Structure 1
């Protein structure tokens, strides 16, 4: 095995495939990256049974072949190797990289012990990669982190006609984002749902953000099993589906009789960030809306350790209304909105509050439970 490749292309391909490397694994070969050189192309693959990542790029291949090497060590080498062409070769049981007078040697891992990579499902449609990455980031903040409840650690994708809906919930909040996508010729007429790990999907979407269009690879006949893939810019990532589905949000988002408030998104996010510095553990940030004054008072803290900031706001449906939220949850929600204006649908303290963008950004909604305890 022998090939030459530019330092930038090698580093990018290795970096994309390395997203599938596990942080820790009792199986040494899963810490490896598989390099396959053939016919003017280099493919770099990583796999940990949950995620399979593959990146392809052009290379001058002198001798075709494949080799399995320690992934993180190769990633570190790619970060420091000199700019310019990099000559790579398999010499016995050692893989070498030579560039700019610098030579690196890597021991190889037994390829025969490496698990077979999953087969990619067929192309199901395509979505704007930048919009998809932004949408995944908006809902991922609401996904759970408790691995004992795997369903709540996922993002649910629903594909219905030309609309894609992403949703996530950890039981205390629920985020939903809708965006347009283009179903392929083989797309089914009925809506299709799949649940994938939120953290992995977020990493994948960010990696595809600059590739223009991202292809969605999906077999609707597989039900809740198998993998779902995302492909673009010479990279492909397959994610293992999670079993189950998130609880429905339809009735949760129906806040009959709610008061409505509107406020500047950036101003509220900055005010909440400021006052939250005095909030102790489990101490909420309080929002006091006043219709007559046209203001919102944002405050936190107890006793002498308090902070407050007043902002302009509009309240309809009540003269005054007060709600309070966990500071981290509130900031996550506020920072997930890109619209200049933010709309609150409010039922009162200890009840549900629905946040949504104004105008064209109304496709993103975030439900929060307000706390009963007020400052």
Structure 2
């Protein structure tokens, strides 16, 4: 194999594949007349990314992912040439040479077994995922709380994730009708959506799900999706609604939250035409701030963990948000007054006041 590629484009593809794959993974590099393919796989995951390149001699090799990614990230050059030299893959520059060991060839993962069932706008999909995946647990003994459930029925796609204390549900239009119901690891989905551009294809296979876009394909094993559903959260007892600017409320939460106790719980006291945020901490003092709001219903004073409330409000940045408050320890629902291309519902569990 002998191929010349733009250094920054190759670095981006190799780094993305390395982040998706487990540590100490190997990468396939395959050069042909269409450019350079960067691919990798394990028992659960397969990834293929394309990079523009000029192939002088077609061929394919397997190399360790981590040192290749680190080397490419540090190069300050426009082009890099990759040449097989005996048992090494050499990265040649005008004034430097780096050589990686060639690894034993293994079959690539089963990404090719996936069938395309629908497609979605990549920008809207990535925007929805940034919000929804943020509510998934980073580490949990129950895998379902580390995933995002994707459900398609007809021309709508629904994304759902939860870490028990909050849940985000986003809905957006599909470009083609389809049917699917899968639970996919949130970390992998987020990274794949970050790479995707233009139209994103949604794929299914036996026990697998995949995303494709021009120049890329990621396929992964799926988790058990059955339990994760917004239907499991009671939402029919709303007795107070509050409408106000999301950015203004978020800024107040940041300021007042500084004075919260170790659990960083603050109280949202709802009045006739305002909300008052209050918190106190024995060693730093106390704080309160009042904001004008449109209020319907009775007065109430739910308490929330400041960090979770702030995460929820950031999902509605630049918009006016409605908080639908239920009595007792039932979830509070947050929605945009004027939803855009992605329709979001954010469920936030209240906390017991101190």
- TM-score interval, smaller chain: over 0.9
Aligned mate of 1:41, from 29, 35, 46: 35
C-alpha deviation, 1:339, in angstroms: 5.2
**Cα distance between partner residues in 2 of 1:339 and 1:21:** 35
Structure 1 residues 314 and 234, CA gap change in structure 2 (3 angstroms): same
Alignment match, 1:118: 110
C-alpha deviation, 1:248, in angstroms: 3.0
C-alpha deviation, 1:33, in angstroms: 1.4
Alignment match, 1:5: 5
**Cα distance between partner residues in 2 of 1:126 and 1:257:** 36
Residue-by-residue CA offset, 1:101-148 (whole Å, 9 max, x unaligned)? 22111122222xx35311331222211111100101111122123331
Aligned mate of 1:76, from 61, 67, 70: 70
**Cα distance between partner residues in 1 of 2:306 and 2:135:** 14
Verify the 8 A CA contact 2:38 2:48 in the aligned structure 1: yes
Structure 1 residues 351 and 19, CA gap change in structure 2 (3 angstroms): same
Structure 1 residues 174 and 8, CA gap change in structure 2 (3 angstroms): same
Residues 1-375 of structure 1 mapped to structure 2, 5 A cutoff: 1-22=1-22, 24=23, 28=24, 31-111=25-105, 114=106, 116-120=108-112, 121-183=114-176, 187=178, 191-208=179-196, 211-219=197-205, 222=206, 225=207, 227-250=208-231, 252-291=233-272, 294-303=273-282, 305-318=285-298, 320-338=299-317, 340-361=319-340, 363-374=343-354
* TM-score normalised per structure 1: 0.88
Comparing 83-92 with 115-124, greater Cα deviation is found at: 115-124
Two-structure CA RMSD over aligned residues (Å): 2.0
Residue-by-residue CA offset, 1:36-90 (whole Å, 9 max, x unaligned)? 1123421101224333221112322122221111212111111122322221111
* TM-score normalised per structure 2: 0.93
**Cα distance between partner residues in 2 of 1:314 and 1:348:** 19
Verify the 8 A CA contact 2:111 2:217 in the aligned structure 1: no
Residue-by-residue CA offset, 1:11-37 (whole Å, 9 max, x unaligned)? 232123223222x4xxx5xx2211111
**Cα distance between partner residues in 2 of 1:251 and 1:350:** 15
Stretches of structure 2 lacking an aligned partner (at least 5 in a row): none
C-alpha deviation, 1:274, in angstroms: 1.8
Verify the 8 A CA contact 1:169 1:246 in the aligned structure 2: no
Does the residue aligned with 1:109 lie in a helix, a strand or coil?
coil
C-alpha deviation, 1:257, in angstroms: 4.3
Does the residue aligned with 2:253 lie in a helix, a strand or coil?
helix
Does the residue aligned with 2:345 lie in a helix, a strand or coil?
strand
Q: How many residues align?
A: 351
C-alpha deviation, 1:328, in angstroms: 2.0
**Cα distance between partner residues in 2 of 1:167 and 1:253:** 16
Residue-by-residue CA offset, 1:290-326 (whole Å, 9 max, x unaligned)? 01xx2111122234622222111121111x2111111
C-alpha deviation, 1:152, in angstroms: 1.4
Does the residue aligned with 1:56 lie in a helix, a strand or coil?
strand
Structure 1 residues 373 and 283, CA gap change in structure 2 (3 angstroms): same
Stretches of structure 1 lacking an aligned partner (at least 5 in a row): none
**Cα distance between partner residues in 1 of 2:76 and 2:263:** 50
